């Protein structure tokens, strides 16, 4: 089964492909369709953005498409940066600048008030017009300084007390089991296998 990934973010493409490949799904990045216009998200929730990106990619490519809208919600900042996570420190989507901004907003805030959640909403859009949704979340604490070289985005600041490591220090295989994205992808796997069964039933009827 082929799936177009409606994202320009290469780090998301890597994590999603690593997760889906062992299950036999072939993913193509939307970058492999060079003539396709930029998909600009402007919704007010992760869900709206994910549905929009998946639907648009499906319309433009004619293929089943998967979108990921995700971000970090920090309790002390009333849920910011949230849907603005990628552009927190500016339009250029600079991971390092975003982390610096987050650290400066949390300067002097004690550990017990640094709780945060990563959120991920995934949408699967199919050419007949239906859109299916899966969600995932992961709890952590914002560290006082970046730690680790792995992962991407806010990973060096996202500390998991249970593992005593940030997402950037953690083995990528473990991130791919416990992260917000992994949890949403588990739901996506269920959606894809239901779609496969529906497709096979349709073929049997023909």
Q: Which residues contact 38 (CB under 8 A, 6 or more apart)?
A: none
Check residue 154 for interaction with ligand ITT (CB under 6 A). Answer: yes
**Residue whose beta carbon is closest to ligand ITT:** 153
Nearest Cα neighbor of 183 from 131, 133, 116, 137 is 137
We find the least distance from the C-beta atom of residue 1 to ligand ITT, in angstroms, to be 21
Longest Cα–Cα distance in the chain: 66
Which of 70, 165, 166, 169 is close enough to bind ligand ITT by CB under 6 A? 70
Check residue 69 for interaction with ligand ITT (CB under 6 A). Answer: yes
Burial class (CB in 10 A: 0-12, 13-18, 19+), 74: buried
Query: Which part of the chain contacts ligand ITT (CB under 6 A), choosing from 1-9, 17-25, 100-108, 187-195?
Result: 1-9
- Among positions 108-147, residues that touch ligand ITT (CB under 6 A) are 118
Check residue 73 for interaction with ligand ITT (CB under 6 A). Answer: no
Query: Is 69 part of the annotated catalytic residue set?
Result: yes
Which of 65, 153, 159, 160 is close enough to bind ligand ITT by CB under 6 A? 153
Which of 55, 126, 142, 155 is close enough to bind ligand ITT by CB under 6 A? 155
Check residue 8 for interaction with ligand ITT (CB under 6 A). Answer: yes
Which of 169, 181, 183, 185 is close enough to bind ligand ITT by CB under 6 A? 181
Task: Tell me whether the omega of the peptide bond preceding residue 89 falls within 30 degrees of 0, making it cis.
Answer: no
d(CA 151, CA 172): 7
Select 65 or 85, whichever has its Cβ closest to ligand ITT: 85
Check residue 187 for interaction with ligand ITT (CB under 6 A). Answer: no
Interior angle at CA 44, CA 179 and CA 159, nearest 5:
25
CA 145 to chain centroid, in Å, comes to: 23
φ, ψ (nearest 5 deg) of residue 60:
-75, -30
Q: Catalytic residue positions?
A: 69
């Amino acid at each position: 089964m082929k799936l177009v990934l409606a994202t320009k973010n290469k780090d998301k493409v890597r994590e999603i492909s690593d997760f889906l490949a062992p299950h036999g799904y072939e993913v193509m990045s939307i970058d492999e369709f060079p003539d396709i216009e930029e998909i600009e998200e402007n919704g007010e929730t992760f869900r709206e953005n994910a549905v929009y990106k998946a639907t648009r990619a499906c319309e433009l490519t004619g293929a089943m498409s998967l979108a990921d809208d995700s971000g970090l919600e920090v309790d002390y900042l009333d849920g910011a940066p949230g849907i603005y996570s990628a552009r927190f420190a500016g339009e250029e989507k600079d991971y390092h600048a975003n982390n610096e901004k987050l650290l400066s907003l949390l300067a002097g805030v004690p550990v017990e008030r640094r709780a945060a959640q990563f959120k991920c909403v995934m949408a699967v859009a199919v050419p007949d017009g239906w859109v299916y949704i899966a969600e995932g979340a992961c709890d952590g604490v914002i560290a006082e300084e970046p730690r680790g070289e792995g992962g991407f985005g806010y990973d060096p600041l996202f500390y998991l007390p249970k593992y005593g490591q940030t997402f950037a220090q953690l083995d990528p295989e473990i991130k791919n089991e416990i992260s917000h994205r992994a949890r949403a992808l588990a739901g996506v796997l269920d959606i894809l296998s239901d779609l496969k069964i529906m497709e096979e039933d349709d073929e049997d009827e023909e």
